[in-house]
Amino acid sequence: MRPPHLRVAGEAPLDSDWPVIDQAPEAGLYLVREDGRLTLRDAGRPEARGVHADARSEAIRKRLESGRRSPLARAVGLHKQPDLRVLDATFGLGRDGFVLLHLGARIMGCERNTVLQQLLGDALTRAGALSDRWLGLQGQDAASWLQAHPEADFDVVYIDPMFDAPARKALPKLELQLLRDVVGDDADVDQMFAVARGVARQRVVVKQHPRGPSLARPDFSVASGKTRFDVYLTSDRSFR
């Protein structure tokens, strides 16, 4: 659901009936096309970078330099089996999902937030034809989609919840604050986690703050600077 104060400035083609305004508002969140990209901005925080999605960004290309030995790839299991079928249950802006796709995984994404759906749709349009390993984007929450599709077959379910960081001196990045304003917290992550553990053939991977609590006791974790990947194996044949 979009925030009631979200508006669309200028010519930002959207698959919705959201109101389109002629120029940026004085306050509130709005979508605008900047440099050819659909971008989310906060008029009250003009110093903050706008938020957009990109399937082929320079940031993604830089992350690919680590290959399948990166913490994300190792947590998912791509270092030993690169063609895994992965459901990214909280696709967000696709920053992890698109990396996994470019590393060889077969990826499907679920994203229930309509604002992020619009940003992702724009990114996919700009990217053109992706690999045939791209299995599509589902515009609903992953738990509901999985329950409605019992035939779904995934080796890995990846969950990146909008977590509350432990107390710290510095505020989160303005970009993260803006994203939180739109998405909020994933209060139902426990339900999503339970459904994922019943579906994933090999493992469930949950991205967490390095000092944050785990959803349950993981089989192992992979540390990565500002994040931690908790790995829950769902099969005796799963590898580390």
Whether residue 154 has pLDDT greater than 80:
yes
* 161: in domain: yes
How many angstroms separate the Cα of 220 from the Cα of each of 80, 87, 103, 134, 238?
A: 16, 20, 22, 28, 12
Q: Give the CATH number, domain containing residue 111.
A: 3.40.50.150
Residue 72 has φ and ψ, to the nearest 5°, of -60, -50
* 22: in domain: no
* 27: in domain: no
* 46: in domain: no
pLDDT, tens only, 108-125? 999 999 999 999 999 999
* 44: in domain: no
* 43: in domain: no
pTM of the predicted structure, to 2 decimals: 0.87
Residue-number span of the structural domain to which 226 is assigned? 58-233
* 118: in domain: yes
pLDDT, tens only, 80-101? 999 999 999 999 999 999 999 9
pLDDT of residue 73: 96
- Report the candidate in 59, 139, 132, 129 with the shortest Cα–Cα distance to residue 99: 59
Number of domains in the chain: 1
Whether residue 42 has pLDDT greater than 70:
yes
* 1: in domain: no
